[in-house]
Structures are given as C-alpha cells and as structure tokens.
Amino acid sequence: MGALQFAARTSYKGLARWIAGTATICAVCLIVFSQSQVFWLSAVVLFVVGFAATSQMAATNTAIQNRVPDELRGRVMAVYAMMFMGVQPLGSLIAGGIAKRIGAPETLTIFGAIVLVASLVFAYLVMVRSRDTAASPARPT
C-alpha cells in the first residue's frame, strides 16, 4: 500500500520532508511494537511500519534518481542498491547478536531509537535546508 500510495503522487515536491516524516513514523512504530504485549496493537503498528518503510524507500529511490545526471544514473543506482542490499545482512547479524544477549524486544527498542534519532537529525537538516533555500534571494539569469 505504501508503494501504491507513492505511485499515485502527481508531484515530487516535498520529497525530502516525506522521507523524513515516514522514517520518523517508522521509528516510533518500531519502538511501540517492541514494547507491545497486545496482538491487535502489534498488527496495526506493523502495518504502519510496513507502509512507512515502503513509502520511504520508494521516495528515497525517486529522490536519488531525480537528482543524478542521466549519464551517471545507472552507476549511482548500482552503488545505492549495493549499499542498501549489502548493509541489511550486516545489520541483521548485529541485531541477532545483540538480541541473543539482551533479548529481541530490547534490541528492537535500541534499533528503533537509533533510527528515530537519525530520522530527527535528517528532518532537522531538511528543515534548515528548506529555510535557507526560501531565504536566499533569487539569482539573476
């Protein structure tokens, strides 16, 4: 549903804010899920996590493709895909090792908190950048 929602967009304006928002929502919901003891709450929260994560990944992919020159797009996307696919197993290995020591709920809380901090930093940087862009005078052509 996240990918379908994103595909229905008619404009790519505000893409960085969308990425920041969905990453933050995903992080908060991961933390809620990690502490949930109620099945239905967990199911709803996981739905939101899936929606936000899918939409955020599609938006990130689109933002990268829109910003890269045509002659470099294939190379940049190959590096992006390699980093995205290559880092996931490493993160899973680390998460598994930590979960073995302290438990899965606590590990998910820690990783969710890391994602939350990173998404809030990204959101702050996006807001600063958009404020600076709006405040800068237009250049004559």
Q: What is the pLDDT of residues 94-129, one digit of tens each?
A: 999 999 999 999 999 999 999 999 999 999 998 887
Residue 110 lies in domain? 2-131
* Domain-embedded: residue 100: yes
The residue to which tokens 């797009």 are assigned: 73
* Domain-embedded: residue 19: yes
* Domain-embedded: residue 136: no
- Is the pLDDT at 50 greater than 80? The verdict is yes
Taking alpha carbons only, the member of 136, 118, 138 closest to residue 126 is: 118
**What is the domain count for the chain?**
1
- Is the pLDDT at 53 greater than 60? The verdict is yes
* Domain-embedded: residue 20: yes
* Domain-embedded: residue 63: yes
* Domain-embedded: residue 140: no
What does pLDDT average to over the chain? 87
DSSP 8-state code for residue 9:
-
- Is the pLDDT at 140 greater than 70? The verdict is no
* Domain-embedded: residue 71: yes
139 pLDDT band, cuts 50/70/90, is: low
pLDDT tens digits for range 73-92? 889 888 888 888 888 899 89
The two three-digit tokens of residue 8, written as one number: 């229905």
* Domain-embedded: residue 115: yes
The predicted structure's pLDDT at residue 134: 64
Task: Spell 90-110 as b/e; 16+ CB within 10 A means b.
Answer: eeeeeeeebbeeeeeeebbbb
